């Protein structure tokens, strides 16, 4: 608050200097008494002006209200002083008061012996500017202050000029007079005692009865922070105390929300009884015994869960067999699910998961699988989260939502009595708290406690009595203020609470002891004080105790009360202690270590630990978590000085991001395209052949997926040159696959086959399998899959199926799921082209299933496209085409244009078979437009043939145009060596000539094409060709048909 005398210069001219000194002294004395009464702090006397702080050095719950009342009372008190001034000196004093609320930094300012403690920041400047534009004898407050005193005063907004030195427009309000009411809604929410939740508790108990009968249930508990979710779970546990059951609980963490399985590791440690002092050997033995007691197959499960808990295996226990990271992740989830079922087989199990909104995606995936599989188990899963959380798993019949709403007025009164210890509370106090709290339980609890702890109430004979005005000093206007006031009231323990807030929501006694500079007795005393004040919860006995902030927002309040410099110092200290004294914690949670290092200004260490976090997530195929860690590492990297090493590391991290993104989202996703642009802008600055080769390969793939073949071909040439100049044969093989893909898509099958053969000959699993992290596919699987479809195009249907099967087997051998989906999609396409609809459905459905399990969105679209085409080919036209269109939308929304002409052409053929020539024509028009713009011509003969078939439909069939299209299709197919498309084009033209009584021409056209084929005679096209030749009078066809 700034307060200044109006017209002080004129006053000094009217009064003798000695009289003026007395007047100013009286002014300071009068204002000082008022300011002291409201708990303000006179920071500085500026001649006839005052700078006053409310909230420093001691915070109150209602500092904004105190400041406004003090400003108004100063004006009133000076009016009494003015009577004497006017009588004795013929003059009077007028003042202006300006008030603004906001954060400041308070510290010593000055030099040598002339130092004073001042608040620095824009808040004081805005308050001073408000005072300068206020009218005499008025209090002018900002909108920020007004928000903290809603309903307490009658105010009027006044026009505001731009304030000098303030860039934003400030709205000003003149405070006219008190409103006479004390209604102000609190904003912040916290965990509170449970009142008024009988229905919700009853619902939980009803579901528990179903669980006891063997029908597993999932309760989805949602509500705002502070609404009472955790308190409801406490009551549920109390109500189940007499019923035999197992209770396990875990929670998400804001620090660890991108660490895969983080809550689950805590769950396991709790279940098997890990102790802080346990060695790795003891912990492994506890885990083994825990599995043995539940009856889980220890030989299979122990290595998986030991790996999850970062426990080394001794020589007498067989290690995990070699497997991919994704397979191990899937096996770990399955092992955890089996363990839960085994625990529940002994007695009913309650599994509590709090703060789901802070759980990592892998844990959420595990929970979804678990809920899906508990319908016939004695398991009750209770998930607590905030309303904005979107659950990724489908709604099932065994799921029950439980939404917690604000309390009614009668319930609020009951809760106030409960928080007050059963004392009778005055009606006006109850009404005031009810109006302030808005039915949010934690507001009710905190406001009630603040009032009970203040000097404005006292307890007499079992009842609470008010000894002051409750709307001026006692009740917090915001929960943030009330919590800060409670911390300030325990100044001795406040710094410890702040240090604990930097550590996190929860911390062990041993970690706090290692980080703090307090001696043991002092530390124990202050922790006890925080526990007694209910700012902390204590679990266990010191030195094995764990301390938890009562609520995350209490931690936030303590954390934000620290200066940035102090936070940084504490974070750095915590990081060093963790690294030196708690290596197990660092190993289990490198993300937490990275956070402390980054915030503590230890950039090099932060970079190291973010990379370790990303590697750990990627190893478990937790791609989304890995992306987060690597991007954070890049952010930290950019704070370091520019250097060749920084450029190299930047490109390396971008390639890791790209690889995880392609696995998670598909090659054409906008995020992938954005990352590739970032790679393209920096890779030329790096002189490292292996990194450059990875960058070029990622960019080549990106261009190919978007059908930008010229750019892909140029970059592939650059990559070949790089391999030759670096004398690295392994690099030279990398572009061969993409050059082959480009040639194949452009219809140059001979060149494609040559490139593909080079990949087959040069592929080395040790050198090339790691490239899957950069490209999202295995080189050999890609080559074999595309070779399969290309062999069908070239007229080798049996070889095509065999090549496709080899691709599938290779993908399954290397255990790379993206490659497995690609192989199955292309094999489904081959089978579809052969006319094997049922087999195509099987392969496509498997591709879709894998994609959904692994959240591979683009590849799910590819699989659904093939599935829809296969369903339509099997006779269910409407269902198949709907599935096909949904798949196409997923692919195109992901930005992928790969195989567009073939996919659109196949859809057009399906529409023609369904009798919808209009849709077929539209699809062909789009396909041809894309073909002309991109150069993707591998489906060109078929597009021309299908356009000819469209010309023969409808009332205005155009046979001449149809014949021209068929002839073009034949010509294009022959130039490409696409014998299968040549056969189809020949059949279409032969059928047309048959209707024109040109059977001889038709027979002479079709027979040589048919007779060229030496395999696949039992496939759809060749059976149809043979039948047509028979109808045309071809003797050999009749003989083949009869045999």
Could you write out the three-class secondary structure of 292-349?
HHHCCCHHHHHHHHHHHCCCCCCCCCCCCCCCCHHHHHHHHHHHHHHHHHHHHHHCCE
Calculate mean pLDDT across residues 490-514: 88
Predicted confidence band of residue 1042 (pLDDT cuts 50, 70, 90): very low
Q: What is the mean pLDDT of the chain?
A: 86
CATH of 777-889, picked from 1.25.40.10, 1.20.1530.20, 3.30.360.10, 3.30.1330.20, is 1.25.40.10
pLDDT of 938: 95
Question: Using CA atoms in the order 1019, 883, 661, 819, what is the torsion angle rounded to 10 degrees?
Answer: -20
Where in 6-162 does DSSP place strands (E)? 41-46, 49-53, 95-99, 105-111, 114-120, 138-142, 153-158
Using alpha carbons, select from 965, 940, 939 the residue that is nearest to residue 950.
965
What does each C-alpha distance from 79 to 51, 72, 75, 136, 702 come to in angstroms?
Answer: 21, 11, 6, 12, 78
What are the C-alpha distances in Å from 983 to residues 183, 290, 560, 966, 1007?
A: 84, 66, 75, 11, 10
Q: What is the pLDDT of residue 61?
A: 63
Query: Facing residues of 464 across strands?
Result: 459
Pairing of β 546-549 and β 105-111: unpaired
* Contact by Cβ (8 Å): 69, 80: no
55 — alpha (psi -120 to 50), left (phi > 0) or beta?
Answer: left
Q: What is the CATH topology of the domain spanning 2-178?
A: Alpha-Beta Plaits (3.30.70)
What pTM does this model have?
0.65
Average pLDDT over residues 562-566: 87
Over residues 149-176, the mean pLDDT reads: 86
* Backbone Cα Rg of the chain: 38
* Helix or strand (DSSP H, E) at 223: none
Structure-token pair, residue 966: 């068929």
Residue at token pair 């900002």: 142
Q: Which residue has the higher pLDDT, 418 or 62?
A: 418
Asked if residues 339 and 300 have their Cβ atoms less than 8 Å apart, the reply is no
Mean pLDDT of 80-90: 82
CA angle 664, 670, 674 (to 5 degrees): 100
The Cα–Cα gap between 426 and 430 comes to: 6
CA dihedral 654, 660, 663, 664 (to 10 degrees): -110
CB 627 within 8 A of CB 855: no
φ, ψ for residue 109 (rounded to 5)? -130, 135
Return d(Cα 66, Cα 59) in angstroms, integer. 11
Residues 378 and 346: their CA atoms lie apart, in Å, by 9
Share of the chain above pLDDT 70, in %: 92
- Residues 559, 498 contacting (CB under 8 angstroms): yes
Please tell me the number of Cα atoms within 13 Å of 897 on its side-chain side. Answer: 19
Pick from 87, 76, 75: which is nearest to 1 by CA? Answer: 75
Angle of helix 959-976 relative to helix 940-951, nearest 10 degrees?
Answer: 170
pLDDT tens for residues 800-830?
Answer: 999 999 999 999 988 888 889 999 999 999 9
Q: What is the pLDDT of residue 476?
A: 44
- Name the least confident of 134-143, 321-330, 471-480, 522-531: 471-480
Alpha-carbon distance values, 775 to 503, 659, 895 (Å): 39, 6, 16
* Residues 364/390, Cβ–Cβ less than 8 Å: no
Record the tokens describing residue 829, joined without a space: 């396409």
pLDDT, position 516: 93
Span 485-604 CATH architecture: Orthogonal Bundle (1.10)
Q: What is the mean pLDDT of residues 405-427?
A: 87
- Confidence tier at 472 by pLDDT (50, 70, 90): very low
Beta bridge pairs of residue 539 = 546
Furthest-apart CA pair in the chain: how many Å? 136
Give me the pLDDT at residue 190, please: 40
Task: Say if residue 858's pLDDT is above 90.
Answer: no
The pLDDT, as a whole number, for residue 976 is 96
Distances (CA, A) of 383 to 232, 302, 351, 401, 514: 12, 27, 8, 10, 34
As a dihedral over the C-alpha atoms of residue 237, residue 241, residue 242, residue 247, rounded to 10 degrees, the angle is: 80
- Residue 772 pLDDT: 63
543 prior amide bond cis, ω within 30: yes
Span 944-968, average pLDDT: 94
Helices (H), 38-101: 63-89
641-764 to CATH, choices 2.40.30.170, 1.25.40.10, 3.40.30.10, 3.30.70.360: 1.25.40.10
Confidence of residue 182 (pLDDT cuts 50, 70, 90): very low
Separation between Cα atoms, residue 296 and residue 42, nearest integer Å: 70
d(CA 140, CA 153): 12
Q: Is the pLDDT of residue 424 over 90?
A: no
- State yes or no: pLDDT of 275 exceeds 60: yes
Mean pLDDT in residue range 392-409: 88
- For residue 361, give both structure tokens: 């995606």
Q: How far apart are CA 898 and CA 473, in angstroms?
A: 69
Q: What is the pLDDT of residue 187?
A: 31
Closest CA to 605 of 634, 583, 581, 575: 575
- pLDDT band of 1043, cuts 50, 70, 90: very low
Encoded tokens for 403: 């939404």
Determine the average pLDDT of the residues in 470-474.
42
Q: What is the pLDDT of residue 352?
A: 93
Chain centre to alpha carbon of residue 899: 32
The CATH architecture one would assign to domain 198-403 is 3-Layer(aba) Sandwich (3.40)
Residues 6+ apart with CB under 8 A from 221: 229, 232, 233, 382, 383, 384, 385, 402, 404
Is 478's pLDDT higher than 60? no
The SS3 assignment for 97 reads strand
The confidence score (pLDDT) of residue 868 equals 97
The answer to whether the beta carbons of residues 195 and 407 sit under 8 Å apart is yes
Question: At residue 552, does pLDDT exceed 60?
Answer: no
Q: Which has the higher per-residue pLDDT, 498 or 451?
A: 498
Q: What is the torsion angle, in degrees rounded to the nearest 10, for the CA atoms of residue 419, residue 425, residue 427 and residue 432?
A: -40
Query: Residue 898's pLDDT band (boundaries 50, 70, 90)?
Result: confident
Contacts of residue 922, Cβ cutoff 8 Å, sequence gap at least 6: none
899-1042: what CATH class?
Answer: mainly alpha
């Amino acid at each position: 608050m700034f307060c200044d005398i109006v017209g002080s210069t004129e006053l000094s001219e009217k009064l003798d200097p000695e009289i003026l000194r007395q007047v100013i002294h009286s002014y300071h004395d009068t204002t000082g008494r008022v300011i002291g009464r409201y708990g303000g702090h006179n920071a500085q006397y500026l001649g006839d002006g005052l700078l006053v702080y409310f909230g420093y050095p001691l915070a109150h719950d209602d500092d904004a209200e105190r400041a406004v009342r003090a400003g108004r009372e100063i004006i009133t008190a000076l009016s009494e002083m003015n009577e004497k001034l006017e009588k004795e000196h013929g003059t009077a004093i007028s003042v202006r008061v300006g008030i603004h609320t906001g954060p400041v930094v308070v510290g010593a300012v000055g030099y040598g012996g002339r130092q004073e403690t001042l608040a620095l920041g824009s808040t004081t400047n805005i308050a001073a500017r408000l005072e300068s534009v206020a009218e005499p004898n008025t209090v002018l407050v900002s909108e920020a202050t007004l928000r903290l005193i809603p309903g307490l005063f009658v105010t009027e907004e006044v026009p505001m000029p731009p304030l000098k030195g303030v860039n934003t427009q400030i709205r000003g309000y003149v405070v006219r007079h008190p409103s006479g009411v004390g209604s102000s809604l609190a904003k912040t929410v916290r965990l509170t005692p449970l009142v008024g939740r009988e229905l919700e508790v009853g619902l939980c108990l009803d579901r528990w009865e179903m669980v006891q009968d063997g029908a597993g249930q999932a309760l989805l508990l949602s509500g705002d922070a502070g609404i009472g979710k955790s308190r409801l779970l406490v009551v549920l546990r109390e109500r189940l105390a007499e019923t035999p059951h197992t209770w396990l609980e875990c929670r998400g963490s804001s620090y660890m929300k991108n660490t895969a399985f983080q809550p689950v590791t805590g769950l396991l440690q709790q279940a098997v009884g890990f102790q802080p002092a346990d060695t790795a050997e003891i912990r492994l033995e506890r885990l083994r015994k825990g599995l043995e007691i539940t009856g889980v197959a220890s030989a299979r499960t122990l290595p998986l869960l030991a790996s999850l808990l970062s426990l080394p295996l001794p020589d007498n226990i067989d290690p995990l067999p070699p497997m991919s990271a994704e397979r191990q992740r899937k096996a770990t989830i399955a092992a955890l699910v089996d363990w839960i079922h085994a625990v529940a087989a002994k007695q009913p199990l309650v599994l509590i998961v709090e703060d789901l909104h802070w759980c990592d995606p892998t844990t959420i995936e595990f929970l979804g699988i678990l809920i899906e599989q508990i319908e016939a188990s004695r398991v009750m899963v209770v998930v607590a989260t905030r309303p904005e959380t979107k659950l990724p798993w489908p709604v099932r019949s065994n799921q029950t939502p439980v939404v917690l709403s604000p309390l009614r007025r009668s319930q609020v009164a009951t809760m106030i009595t409960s928080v007050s210890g059963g004392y009778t509370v005055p009606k006006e106090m109850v009404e005031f708290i009810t109006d302030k709290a808005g039915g949010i339980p934690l507001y009710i609890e905190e406001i009630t406690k603040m009032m009970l702890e203040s000097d404005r109430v006292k307890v007499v004979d079992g009842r609470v009595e008010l000894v002051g005005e409750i709307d001026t000093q006692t009740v917090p206007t915001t929960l943030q203020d009330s919590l800060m006031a409670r911390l300030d009231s325990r100044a001795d323990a406040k710094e410890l609470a702040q240090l604990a807030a930097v550590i996190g929501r929860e911390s062990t006694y041993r970690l706090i002891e290692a980080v703090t500079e307090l001696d043991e007795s002092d530390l124990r005393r202050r922790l006890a004080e925080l526990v007694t004040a209910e700012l902390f919860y204590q679990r266990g006995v010191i030195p094995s105790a764990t301390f938890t902030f009562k609520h995350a927002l209490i931690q936030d309040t303590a954390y934000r009360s620290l200066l940035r410099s102090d936070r940084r110092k504490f974070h750095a200290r915590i990081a060093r202690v963790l690294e030196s004294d708690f290596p197990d914690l660092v190993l289990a949670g490198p993300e937490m270590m990275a956070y402390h290092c980054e915030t503590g200004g230890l950039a090099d260490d932060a970079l190291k630990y973010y990379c370790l976090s990303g590697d750990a997530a990627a190893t478990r195929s937790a791609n989304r978590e890995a992306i987060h860690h690597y991007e954070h590492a890049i952010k930290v990297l950019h704070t370091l000085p520019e250097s060749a090493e920084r450029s190299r590391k930047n490109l390396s991290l971008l390639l890791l991001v790209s690889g995880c993104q392609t696995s998670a989202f598909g090659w054409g996703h906008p995020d992938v395209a954005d990352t590739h642009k970032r790679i393209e802008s920096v890779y030329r600055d790096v002189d490292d052949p292996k990194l450059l080769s990875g960058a070029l390969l990622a960019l080549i793939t990106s261009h190919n997926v978007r059908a930008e073949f010229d750019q892909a071909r140029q970059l592939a040439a650059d990559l070949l040159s790089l391999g030759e100049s670096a004398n690295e044969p392994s690099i030279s093989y990398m572009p061969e696959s993409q050059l082959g893909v480009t040639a194949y898509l452009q219809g140059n099958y001979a060149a494609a086959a040559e490139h593909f053969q080079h990949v087959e000959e040069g592929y080395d699993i040790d050198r090339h399998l790691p490239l899957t992290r950069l490209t999202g596919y295995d080189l050999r699987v890609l080559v074999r899959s595309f070779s399969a479809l290309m062999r069908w195009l070239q007229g080798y249907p049996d070889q095509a199926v065999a090549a496709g099967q080899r691709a599938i087997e290779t993908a399954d051998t290397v255990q790379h799921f993206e490659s497995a989906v690609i192989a199955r999609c292309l094999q489904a396409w081959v089978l579809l082209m052969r006319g094997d609809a049922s087999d195509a459905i099987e392969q496509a459905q498997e591709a879709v299933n894998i994609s959904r399990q692994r959240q591979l969105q683009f590849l799910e679209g590819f699989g659904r496209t093939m599935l829809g085409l296969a369903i339509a080919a099997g006779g269910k036209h409407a269902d198949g085409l709907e599935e096909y269109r949904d798949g196409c939308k997923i692919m195109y929304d992901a930005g992928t244009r790969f195989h567009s002409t073939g996919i659109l052409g196949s859809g057009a053929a399906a529409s023609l078979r369904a009798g919808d020539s209009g849709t077929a024509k539209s699809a062909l028009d789009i396909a041809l437009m894309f073909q002309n713009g991109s150069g993707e011509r591998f489906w060109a003969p078929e597009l021309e043939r299908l356009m000819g078939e469209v010309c023969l439909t409808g009332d205005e069939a155009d046979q001449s145009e149809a014949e021209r299209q068929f002839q073009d299709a034949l010509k294009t197919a022959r130039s490409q060596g696409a014998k299968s498309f040549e056969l189809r084009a020949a059949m279409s033209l032969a059928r047309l000539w048959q209707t024109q009584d040109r059977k001889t021409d038709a027979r002479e056209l079709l027979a040589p094409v048919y007779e060229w084929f030496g395999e696949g005679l039992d496939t759809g096209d060749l059976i149809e060709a043979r039948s047509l030749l028979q109808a045309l009078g071809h003797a050999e066809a009749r003989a083949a048909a009869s045999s």
